[in-house]
Amino acid sequence: MQYINVGKENSKEINLHYEDHGTGKPVVLIHGWPLNCGSWEKQESVLLDAGYRVITYDRRGFGQSSKPSNGYDYETFSADLDKVIKALNLHEITLIGFSMGTGEVTRYLGEYGSDRVEKAVLLSSIPPYLLKTSDNPMGVDQSVFDGIMSAIKSDRLAYLTQFLHDFYNLDVLEGELISKQVNQYSWNVASRASPIGTYECVKAWLTDFRKDLRNINVPTLIMHGNADRILPIDATGRRLREAIKDCKYVEVDNAPHGLIWTHADQINTELLDFLS
């Protein structure tokens, strides 16, 4: 397995597992919480067939990457992404983030700029700012996140079952656009993530990305499902299109949060059109 070192905790190295396939212009895929880089299965094969070099990696604490007790914030996550990009000497990149991965893309462009980046894609986004505050009345109440953290701490595995139910809108889409087996696989992957990382990442969801968004100066594709129960479209996608100057915005009808699987054909068609 291939790893990139991004730091050290006490006596142990912090390494990120990554996959690097194909040739052509590089596309970096950044997964959502609490899954791993394998969640891009339906996109990777299509991108490879279209002639792109596809790089995926597991965020710290998830998949086959190291599981430290710290660094679960977007300052660290974007620094990890920067180390991946530099270690592989990538240029003319398209950064594609899904869910929590949209935070890495946004913070990276805000902090590190676009010298190495040609385009960006944000799918089921966390930005611009998820928390409801006096200057962000469209956000989500703090009590919601407190409840999530309490549920994870009380019984992480039971919480993952409920989370994935709403991630895929199983009551509506199971048997049609999502199988029991895919849902079970997602639960298996999520259950093996770092318990500490799973919990601490919830705090990172409350990051304010509004300043970062002002610095995005590359063409950007935004896609969001209008049936997203995890990151409501009114608080995220519909506001995001107003915050990025050069963007294409696509709402996916009846799509849940996990649209990269349930609505993969539509997502992939839009991706290839945007990339070309």
Q: What is the DSSP letter of 39?
A: G
Q: Could you tell me if 22 and 54 are in contact, meaning their C-beta atoms sit under 8 angstroms apart?
A: yes
Amino acid at 219: P
Residues 6+ apart with CB under 8 A from 49: none
Average pLDDT (141-165) is 98
Among the listed residues 39, 99, 124, 194, the single catalytic one is 99
pLDDT > 80? residue 240: yes
pLDDT band, very low/low/confident/very high, at 133 (cuts 50, 70, 90): very high
- CATH, domain range 2-275: 3.40.50.1820
pLDDT > 80? residue 93: yes
Q: What is the C-alpha end-to-end distance of the chain, expressed in Å?
A: 31
30 membership: H or E segment, kind and range: strand 26-30
Q: Could you tell me if 71 and 15 are in contact, meaning their C-beta atoms sit under 8 angstroms apart?
A: no
pLDDT band, very low/low/confident/very high, at 2 (cuts 50, 70, 90): very high
Distance of CA 115 to the CA centre of its chain: 22
Active site includes 228?
Answer: yes
Active site includes 99?
Answer: yes
Among the listed residues 39, 194, 228, 263, the single catalytic one is 228
> What pLDDT digit, counting tens, does each position of 17-52 carry?
999 999 999 999 999 999 999 999 999 999 999 999
Among the listed residues 17, 31, 257, 263, the single catalytic one is 257
Query: Cβ–Cβ contacts within 10 Å for residue 118, how many?
Result: 16
Q: How far apart are CA 109 and CA 145, in angstroms?
A: 26
∠ CA 47-34-259, rounded to 5°: 45
% of the chain exceeding 90 in pLDDT: 99
Domain boundaries, the chain: 2-275
